[in-house]
Amino acid sequence: MTDVLVLNGPNLGRLGTREPDVYGALDAPTLAETVVRWGTELGLAVEVRQTDDEATLVGWLHGAVDARQDVVLNPAAFTHYSYALRDAVAQVTTGGCRLVEVHLTNPAARERFRHTSVVAGVATGTVAGFGPDSYRLALQALVGARGA
């Protein structure tokens, strides 16, 4: 049974070739394997998914709350403007599950349009700016919150 769903939004399937100076050289399959391994080390069964499609991401969030799974979400560009995603995230966090918003980069230190997250206000918390380690820190936070 999956304890934590790790969901990646648009263009994150292109990691490795996508602006490596910004997002690093690690490709998406290797990131997914690494995140699953970090989960195992922390005692969590983790499943990683990626989509470029907003409706698919919204559906996965509905599924997470129905299955009572915590979520690590990198909403990618949807972070900055998707109220549909925000409303889906709110259902997760008001439905008794935790959701950590993660970013590889620190959006607050980048272009102005990235300074707004419409998701942050309904997430349990946010980890940004630590590259792939953002995901590890998010999983650690969920483990800590479960033990609390």
Q: Is 137 in the site for ligand DQA (CB under 6 A)?
A: no
**How many C-beta neighbours within 10 Å does residue 94 have?**
10
Residue pair 89/61 in contact (Cβ under 8 Å)? The answer is yes
Catalytic residue among 23, 62, 115, 135, which?
23
Q: List the one residue from 2, 52, 91, 114 that touches ligand DQA (CB under 6 A).
A: 114
- The upper half-sphere exposure of residue 99, i.e. CA atoms within 13 Å in the direction of its Cβ, equals 29
**Sign of the torsion formed by the C-alpha atoms of 72, 75, 81 and 84:** negative
Nearer to ligand DQA, 50 or 69 (CB): 50
Active-site annotation holds for 62: no
CB 38, min distance to ligand DQA, A: 17
The upper half-sphere exposure of residue 26, i.e. CA atoms within 13 Å in the direction of its Cβ, equals 14
From the list 74, 82, 124, 126, which residue makes contact with ligand DQA (rule: CB under 6 A)?
74
Q: What's the CA gap between 60 and 44, in Å, rounded?
A: 19
Find the binder of ligand DQA among 2, 34, 56, 105 (CB under 6 A). Answer: 105
Q: Which residues bind ligand DQA (CB under 6 A)?
A: 11, 74, 76-77, 79, 103-105, 107, 114
What is the set of active-site residues?
23, 103
